[in-house]
Structure 1
Amino acid sequence: MTIRLALQTAGPLLLPGDAGYDEHRRPLNPALDPRPAAVVRAAHTEDVRRAVLAARHHELPFAVQATGHGTHVAHDGALLLRTDAMSAVLIDPDRRVARVGPGTRWGDVLAAAAPFGLAPLSGSSPDVGVVGYTLGGGLGWLARAHGLAADSVLRARVVTADGTVRIADADRNPDLFWALRGGGGSFGVVTELEFRLYPITRVYAGAVTFGRERAAETLLHYRDWIERVPDALSTALLLTRDGSLVVKAMYAGDPDRGRALLEPLLAAAGPVVHDGLRVVDYPRAAMGGTFARTFDQVRVLDDDLVAALAAEPDATVEIRHWGGRIARDSGAAAHRDAPLSVVLDTVPTPGTAAALRRAGLGSSFLNFLPDPARTATAFTARNWAALRRIKAAHDPDNVFAAGLAVPPHAADLVCAAGR
């Protein structure tokens, strides 16, 4: 195949039939069985640059994958760039900054930062890739206290659609820098990311399990209780398929204070089946997440929605509190005014779907969005328009069109062609 001759990389190039092709073509989602035309396992930035140019030369669709957590479409016939071999972490404890490669997972950063008493704004699992998570916004358990992961990005090295390696920060390519912090992977391939760390070592965190008998009453109490809690406390309520009600919480402060804040909610939920709240090193505080088959941001847990969620027969439901620093920051990512999100691991019943439509904001969040057709709902109208203009400036041919992609703004393409 001619692509083998046109693409000379330090990392291996795998074609159908080659050893390793089947292993590296697959994403995390077992429902997808992609058949890319070629898989490139990049070893460094020059490999990434050559892969982008090769895809353009051979007129192949282009897709990027590190851990595969964010892959929602089978990239058949594409040139698939794997960045998992580009894993590196450098901690600057004086500046409280981490610098990572595109294949780095959160577990790598947690392990490297902890000896310095520092922590990143990581997600619910240490196995998730840092760059994809951050480009999609990054909603972690410290977000109410310190914001989305995207808002803590300081600098990115990125290969753009023309094969140029650019630095994006507040002074260099500021439009690209803004778009990368929450706009997803539509603007280039990030080969290095630098972001802030925070002086956090231990947290009061975990889950308390109850029976589900008082689910509706607990949700109604939660609706009022979240109005009074400080930003340092993040919580979610989980209604599980096995008939449990679970309160998940993380408090970045004095554990006695954290327990006192949680007590009214725990009392409302009823007798405790298992209490897993404890003081723990932050790297061990990951509490997992719910697979988002359905994701909605809601303005309020009204009575109809509470009743519908409590009665969902065959679903795991997670209601999560947003607000805090998330709402006070400004950036490309997310609808910042959403106080709550609702996640279901399946398609809701008609009654729940109707209740979500009435209480919902019609918005989503890129990290939790499984449907590429709804990508625009992850952004405000103003930010979506700005992202499309930036896309037209940096990727007018829509090379980075795979998955949850931002399309270029047509009017800006016409203007660019006329210059």
Structure 2
Amino acid sequence: MNSVDHTADLLALRPGDPGYDDEIAGFQTGFAQRPAVVFAAASAEDVIAAVRHASEHGLPIGVQATGHGLPGACEGGVLVTTKRMDRVTVDPEARTARVQAGVRWGQVVAAAEPYGLAPLNGSAPSVGAVSYTLSGGLSILAREFGYAADHVRSLDLVTADGRLRHVTRDSDPDLYWALLGGGHNFGIVTELEIGLVPVRTLYGGSLAFDGRQVDPAALLQAYEQWTRTVPDGLTSSFAAVPYPDIPALPPHLRGRYVVSVRVAYTGADGEQLVAPLRELGPVLADSLREMPYAESHTIHSDPDFPHAYYGDSAVLSELDVERAGEVLAAVGPDAGGPMCVLQINHLGGALARSAPNSVPYREGRFLVRLLTVGEREAARAVLDPAFALLAPVTIGRALNFAFGGGDRTEGLYDAGTLKRLAELKSSYDPANLFRRNYNLSACR
């Protein structure tokens, strides 16, 4: 590759430049990436120029759309921001959408809704569609339709050699397999073509209980038993949130320990299926209803403001309710330490089906997610012992829910998947330029 300046017309910012701090800012505020240069990409051509610059100078490359899932703090190197690449194009006849690298899920939902279609987005509309999908993508309707990665038709990707590739299952089966599950290890995806599903409305919402009035462990046991009775098309999760007593929260949440079950279902018998849950105790809030898919983000009501957080996950072979009850106690409001949110996702259904991608642990039956607010050391003091309790039934971790643990890559893939991913990484990125991520070279 010739030593030519490909970045002459590309916005490049360095520490101290006006706009640098705003450009690198993301949803995660607990730590920052401080690159030697940040390239503000507005097109695939801009991404090509940035990658060629990094390659010619032997610099590590990171990419950021929204900054939700940053692996950790870093200094130096190159950061490519893609938030300006925000075009969404829907083909209602083909039931597909083309989404650029900086698109957020809320944009895709809004673009697909007029056609009675929906993407397989997650619970937060502000999350970037591309990064979410490259890490697997556990959607609101996951048990009915599977992972978001299972529905990708094609990817446009800039690899370490500065080449823009159009990747499909037929054109590049190995690279296609690696990209969908391998995160940002193989290059910068500039655009995805994804399949949409014919969903206009769903039955969903949250059934919440006061964890001081109803035993959370008993609720968890009842939830686990209930999941054995529901059809594969019903997707749900159990959550426990110890809200602090602060003015920023609505009065009905301040200082409360809220335990809830969240549901999303496209069938006609949703009311009958959730009826047993309503009998578990006094209900603090009940938002279960038939809703337009465009309102599906209200099921979880994830925070929409930037903040500091750390989190991790455990994919379980089964939900051992006794062990999970110990975790509830270890992270609950009486345990001390930082605020910790627990969520348990019911897996199975379409998530267990094989697909031509590298999303691992499809045999998992439940996913436990813990998210703490505050500093890293305090977070790890809570997270590590809690996940240790689940170790006997843990088969791995989920890349989508590894927040701020860039030096902790063990368990993100099973041995066979990791071996194949590492071999492909050596072929497509031999210098490991794309290492500002949950890097495959560290997954040993």
TM-score by length of 1: 0.91
Amino acid at match of 2:179: L
Q: Which of residues 246, 253, 257 in structure 2 aligns to 1:243?
A: 257
Identity of aligned residues (%): 38
Deviations 1:323-368 (A, max 9, x none): 110101333113101111112224447874442122322x111110
Superposed counterparts of 1:4-403, under 5 Å: 6-212=5-211, 213-241=214-242, 242-254=256-268, 257-268=269-280, 270-286=281-297, 287-289=300-302, 293-312=311-330, 313-314=332-333, 315-330=340-355, 331-346=357-372, 347=380, 348=382, 352-361=386-395, 363-370=396-403, 371-403=405-437
Secondary structure of the residue aligned to 2:441 is coil
Shift of 1:119: 0.2
Give the Cα separation in 1 of the matches to 2:443 and 2:360.
20
| Runs of 5+ consecutive residues of structure 2 not aligned to the other structure | 243-255, 304-308, 334-339, 373-379
State whether residues 157 and 192 of structure 1, in contact with CA within 8 Å, keep that contact through their aligned partners in structure 2: yes
Give the Cα separation in 2 of the matches to 1:408 and 1:45.
29
Give the Cα separation in 1 of the matches to 2:80 and 2:387.
37
Distance 1:41 1:219, change over 3 A: same
Give the Cα separation in 1 of the matches to 2:191 and 2:312.
32
Give the Cα separation in 2 of the matches to 1:189 and 1:338.
29
TM-score by length of 2: 0.86
CA RMSD of aligned residues (A): 2.1
Distance 1:364 1:402, change over 3 A: same
State whether residues 235 and 247 of structure 1, in contact with CA within 8 Å, keep that contact through their aligned partners in structure 2: yes
State whether residues 389 and 408 of structure 1, in contact with CA within 8 Å, keep that contact through their aligned partners in structure 2: no
Distance 1:155 1:349, change over 3 A: closer
Shift of 1:167: 1.2
Amino acid at match of 1:156: L
State whether residues 135 and 400 of structure 2, in contact with CA within 8 Å, keep that contact through their aligned partners in structure 1: yes
Secondary structure of the residue aligned to 2:208 is strand
Give the Cα separation in 2 of the matches to 1:358 and 1:117.
44
Shift of 1:288: 4.1
Shift of 1:28: 2.1
Shift of 1:88: 0.7
Secondary structure of the residue aligned to 1:285 is helix
Give the Cα separation in 1 of the matches to 2:258 and 2:84.
40
Give the Cα separation in 2 of the matches to 1:10 and 1:156.
25
Match of 2:251 in 1: none
Distance 1:273 1:191, change over 3 A: same
Shift of 1:210: 0.9
Q: Where does structure 1 differ by over 6 angstroms across 4 or more consecutive aligned residues?
A: none
Shift of 1:244: 1.9
Give the Cα separation in 1 of the matches to 2:7 and 2:52.
11
Give the Cα separation in 2 of the matches to 1:36 and 1:409.
24
State whether residues 169 and 177 of structure 1, in contact with CA within 8 Å, keep that contact through their aligned partners in structure 2: yes
Deviations 1:36-66 (A, max 9, x none): 1111111211111111110122222211111
Give the Cα separation in 1 of the matches to 2:55 and 2:387.
42
Amino acid at match of 1:282: Y
State whether residues 311 and 383 of structure 2, in contact with CA within 8 Å, keep that contact through their aligned partners in structure 1: no
Distance 1:71 1:9, change over 3 A: farther
Distance 1:234 1:98, change over 3 A: same
State whether residues 220 and 321 of structure 2, in contact with CA within 8 Å, keep that contact through their aligned partners in structure 1: no
Distance 1:402 1:354, change over 3 A: closer
Amino acid at match of 2:351: I
Match of 2:336 in 1: none
Shift of 1:30: 1.1
Give the Cα separation in 2 of the matches to 1:322 and 1:164.
37
Deviations 1:361-413 (A, max 9, x none): 2x111110132333341222111111111111111111111121222999xxx
Deviations 1:166-217 (A, max 9, x none): 1110111211111111110101111110010000011111111112223222
Deviations 1:291-347 (A, max 9, x none): 662311222332431431342333321111011101013331131011111122244
Amino acid at match of 2:227: I
State whether residues 32 and 72 of structure 2, in contact with CA within 8 Å, keep that contact through their aligned partners in structure 1: no
Shift of 1:74: 2.2
Aligned residue pairs total 403
Deviations 1:90-132 (A, max 9, x none): 1111110101110111111111111111000001111111100
Give the Cα separation in 1 of the matches to 2:51 and 2:215.
54
Match of 1:414 in 2: none
Deviations 1:109-168 (A, max 9, x none): 111111111000001111111100100110011111001001100101111110111111
